[in-house]
Amino acid sequence: MSTVLDKFLRYVKIDTQSQDGATTVPSTDKQRNLASLLAQELNDMGAQDVVYDKAHCYVYATIPSNLPEGKTAPVIGFISHMDTSPAVSGENVNPRVVAYEGGDIILNAEKNIVLTEKENPELAHFVGKHLIVTDGNTLLGADDKAGVAEIMTMAQELLSNKNLVHGKIRIGFTPDEEVGCGVDFFDVEGFGADYAYTVDGGDLGELEYENFNAAGAKLIIDGHSVHPGSAKNKMLNAILLAQEFQSLLPVHENPSATDGYEGFYHPDSITGSVDHVVVDYIIRDHNMEKFEQKKRFFLQCADFLNAKYGKKLFTVDLKDSYYNMKEKILPENAHLIDNAVRAMEEAGVTPTIVPIRGGTDGARLSFMGLPCPNLCTGGLNYHGRYEYACVESLESCVEILKNIAALYAE
């Protein structure tokens, strides 16, 4: 049995939760605790060119080629992020391994927190396998410490077994992916890979090379506060104005009503009072034309309401976040998908090509000159206390990574 489980259980106990709205990378100093540990472990296992970028919390390393003299292969990179989502606490994670025999899994009897078969019908696929779950108080951290553990296990096995033939492999671990800053300071040129994969997906077999085009829109609403006892025809309640703006957006274009390739508008957070409200929206669509239409419509809603009230009450600060990496993968770099499919099949895994309803570091890296589709990690229910991962899936993912390394050395 591989050491991937031991590594995973060790890594998830290190709190690396990132923080929205921070002005530094990393957004939290505690991410450095895992980064320094990984750098030390890479050195200990014999990796070369190990670099811990202390300024911005990146870790890079090389597994040197063991190809016969005169034979060459492209340099392949494998990348995962070290941080966990701000959505649910990552402090004092207490994972446990369950031999799953079907039915519900009680995560926390005292608080009646249960991973139910009814709400998670995919559990049926894991009967007879081993699941890593939380105690219901935190997320697990499989997003993306499963990917980190898999890459580290691959590295250890390639370095210790000279019979596993491969070209030069580059490893990269990033901070702050969950808050959209994962590759802000990633050294693509220094990384030196011809192609790469992020190991940051979900269920075993998932392979992704399409993701949302994404933008963030900060809606700023300036109301007019008056004592409610004398407010008639005077008060402009910014809270109600925010509600009015939201009512203009298509009711079915929100995350809870969309899937697959369907895009959406999503009010992610709101703060304020009668006098002033700020709503942070995210805007998503796989199709670039529809993405641009959504952004234009959002701005038109603000213009419409400003015209209605005869003054500028609504201001929009809209910025693109990342784009669909498909245009950087197909057709020129289709070999990345073909080899990933073959690597999965050789590991006994059925590939499932799906669009990402989100983004990864790989999306931005692809537009920074490093084509970078996304591979599965074996985790599910990310960003919540019901998150879990399958031990056997973690082990299969390690085999997939090793197979990819071998395929590019053929």
pLDDT per position as a tens digit, 101-134: 999 999 999 999 999 999 999 999 999 999 999 9
Are residues 249 and 206 part of one domain? no
- Of 322, 338, 353, which closes a domain? 322
- Of 322, 339, 359, which closes a domain? 322
Strand order in the sheet with 264-272: 264-272, 276-285, 213-222, 314-322
Percent of the chain's residues with pLDDT above 70: 100
83 a catalytic residue: yes
- Of 279, 303, 322, which closes a domain? 322
Radius of gyration of the chain (CA): 23
Mention every residue, 6+ apart, whose C-beta is less than 8 A from residue 389: 8, 131, 132, 140, 142, 146, 377, 378, 379, 380
pLDDT confidence of 359, banded at 50, 70, 90? confident
Are residues 156 and 19 part of one domain? yes
Are residues 74 and 127 part of one domain? yes
Half-sphere exposure of 109 (CA within 13 A, CB side): 0
The annotation status of 81 as a binding-site residue, yes or no, is yes
Alpha helices per DSSP H over 59-177: 142-160
What's the whole-model pTM score?
A: 0.90
CATH number (domain holding residue 285):
3.30.70.360
Are residues 28 and 136 part of one domain? yes
Are residues 360 and 308 part of one domain? no
Residue 241 has pLDDT above 80, yes or no: yes
Are residues 345 and 309 part of one domain? no
Q: What is the pLDDT of residue 358?
A: 83
pLDDT in tens, 123-180: 999 999 999 999 999 999 999 999 999 999 999 999 999 999 999 999 999 999 999 8
The annotation status of 383 as a binding-site residue, yes or no, is yes
The annotation status of 200 as a binding-site residue, yes or no, is yes
- Average pLDDT value for residue range 2-9: 93
Are residues 242 and 224 part of one domain? yes
Domain that holds residue 187: 4-211+324-407
- Average pLDDT value for residue range 344-349: 98
Are residues 228 and 185 part of one domain? no
Q: How many independent structural domains does the chain possess?
A: 2
The alpha carbon of residue 128 and the mean position of all alpha carbons in its chain are separated, in whole angstroms, by: 28
**Among 117, 176, 170, 171, residue whose Cα is nearest residue 148:** 171
End-to-end CA distance of the chain: 26
Are residues 391 and 311 part of one domain? no
Q: What is the pLDDT of residue 2?
A: 67
Residue 1 has pLDDT above 60, yes or no: no
Are residues 329 and 317 part of one domain? no
Rounded-to-integer distance, Cα 322 and Cα 342, Å? 29
Which residue is catalytic, options 41, 150, 157, 177? 177
Rounded-to-integer distance, Cα 66 and Cα 64, Å? 6
- Average pLDDT value for residue range 380-390: 96
Rounded-to-integer distance, Cα 210 and Cα 329, Å? 9
pLDDT confidence of 360, banded at 50, 70, 90? confident
- Average pLDDT value for residue range 47-51: 98
Are residues 145 and 222 part of one domain? no
CATH number (domain holding residue 16):
3.40.630.10
Q: How many residues are there in the chain?
A: 410
Average of per-residue pLDDT values in the chain: 96
Are residues 162 and 26 part of one domain? yes
119 a catalytic residue: no
Q: What is the pLDDT of residue 47?
A: 98
